[in-house]
Structure 1
């Protein structure tokens, strides 16, 4: 029982503009309870997602309308999608959090979340949506206007507020970009606010105007988006973002639900040249808790490199646990 999944669940609900639901999960813990029945995918098991909430919130959660409970369950399935090797969540249950667990100090890594504003023409909605999804999978908070604005909101004010609060402005520069009335305005505001700008130049489109002074990441529309390369370009373009980007990545690394995600995220961790003791300790706590990380050869190789470079920053007790983990084979590193 811990609050790592709850932390992710709260962020997802906030992205869905359901702060009313996310607030009910504060101070809660969760646990995935596996049954003895195999799931529909290879090496998956039918499971329940248990939410342990303080007494007041427990009753509020129990009394939610079915449509709101479904929103929470659907958000849980974004954390645990139906896939090979993952628990297959078919049920969500609310339970009362006992006082001894509520008062226990929780060691959840918070760090800072980097905000990204993706500017694009509506003609490129599919590309922008894929970019948003991949960036969010790496722990970043991403805003794209057509998905993230509540229909009842003053959409111009919402866009302006998100432009002002964003850390990175990422214009998707296709042949459609300059045709859009809003993209040029968004670009001008981002430039005026002195935001870090990382243009995504698609199919040879050359950034123009204010955007012409910024180094662009070049993307062929026929190739899959390589978001890890984009993050590398941001690190090189603005070293000031290295630490908060690393914070975001560490949180997503801890929640790696597949071998591939564990491998790609651990590879990206190696691109950072400096880490704090807190960041290093959180990485290795995640390694010990997540079988997708320590069981996968590619990720395990990267962990060895990280251990070799940063082992002197590990807490004494955590270092002992890491060395005792047979799957990691770090005693001779």
Structure 2
């Protein structure tokens, strides 16, 4: 059956959205298996996938969408739910209802690092069908974090949330609070949350997301935005360190950083910051044509995903 223009647009956009967090090798493997062309690329991975899908026939496009569990119609995730903050990494926090206060504290702490976290009791409007909203969040999150309090493994809902995310292939991590990770995500190292507060855990998650191959690109965008929006000299000096540590780079960052130096007085007059940014730009040499994801390290043994 011939796809409608709307279905083709939905499939292509969602395929690009779901493949772009993967490594370049994984992206090319999927594209090649379903008959799409692959080539060298100097831009971001989302634009790359979208470009490689131009001209692809309906049947392989439909098969690729099925492989990635993409749907159209009422269940389409073409329109991202409003509870996600634009341009941020989208994290689903899977938690027990009796620990909702801790989940909310972690949500607030993650926001300071440019991470948009979904907490069911905070983000679902009273008149919304709560199960539908949870499913939307699971279909559109970039990663899931399981908050492992006692009783987590006995809850049908939390187990299903983790299973859904594992099935989608997004990174799934856990914070060990009362119990250790188990089942399909038990083989992965967990963050140790015992005796730590929400800001400490948020910082550890942020550091992991900055280098993980499936989240590094989006987190690089977040770091650049954090730096450009610095509201104090201290913040600018702190954020410039994050820019220096980026594991991936887009050509557009050069103009964004120089514009920030020119227009943001907290950056412009922060001692040593403009010079540090120029050094980063010179080192990165964005005109070299290296794809954004190629500079990400291949050693992720200590990253708990």
Q: TM-score, normalised by structure 2?
A: 0.57
* Alignment correspondent of 1:308: 279
Contact 1:219–1:225 (CA<8 Å) still a contact in 2? no
Give the structure with the higher percent strand: 1
Q: Are positions 1:153 and 2:122 aligned together? A: no
Structure 1 portions without partners, runs of 5+ = 1-110, 316-333
Deviations 1:297-320 (A, max 9, x none): 5xx45x5444323237489xxxxx
- Any conservation in 2 of the 1:217–1:233 contact (CA below 8 Å)? no
The equivalent residue for 1:215 is 189
Q: In the TM superposition, what whole-angstrom CA distance separates every residue of 1:246-266 from its partner, at most 9, and x where no partner exists?
A: 112222332233445434433
The structure number with the bigger radius of gyration is 1
Q: Is the alpha carbon distance of 1:161 and 1:264 closer, same or farther for their aligned partners in structure 2, counting shifts above 3 Å?
A: same
Question: Residue 200 and residue 279 in structure 1: after superposition, are their counterparts in 2 closer, same or farther (change >3 A)?
Answer: farther
Report if the CA contact (8 A) 2:237-2:270 is conserved: yes
* Aligned length in residues: 200
Q: What is aligned with 1:268?
A: 242
> Could you say which residue in structure 1 is the equivalent of 2:180?
206
Deviation at residue 284 of structure 1 after TM alignment: 3.1
Q: Deviation string for 1:67-102 (max 9, x for gaps)?
A: xxxxxxxxxxxxxxxxxxxxxxxxxxxxxxxxxxxx
User: Hey, what does 2:253 align to over in structure 1?
Assistant: 279
**TM-score normalized by the length of structure 1:** 0.53
1:133 maps to which of 108, 117, 135:
108
SS in 1 for 2:166: helix
Question: Hey, what does 1:48 align to over in structure 2?
Answer: none
Structure 2 match to 1:124: 99
Shift of 1:240: 3.2
Residue by residue, what CA displacement relative to the aligned partner does 1:32-58 show, whole Å, maximum 9, x if unpaired? xxxxxxxxxxxxxxxxxxxxxxxxxxx
1:222 and 1:142 mapped to 2: Cα distance? 19
RMSD: 2.7
Q: Is the 8 A contact 2:92 2:145 kept in 1?
A: yes
Cα contact 1:118–1:128 (8 A) shared by 2 = yes
Post-superposition offset of 1:155: 0.8
**Alpha carbons 2:113, 2:206 under 8 Å: kept:** no
Equivalent residues in 2 for 1:83-232, closer than 5 Å: 112-202=87-177, 205-223=179-197, 225-226=199-200, 227-232=202-207
Partner of residue 67, structure 2: none
SS in 2 for 1:213: coil
Q: 1:265 to 1:230 in 2, by over 3 A?
A: farther
Task: Give 1:148 deviation, angstroms.
Answer: 0.5
SS at 2:99 equivalent: helix
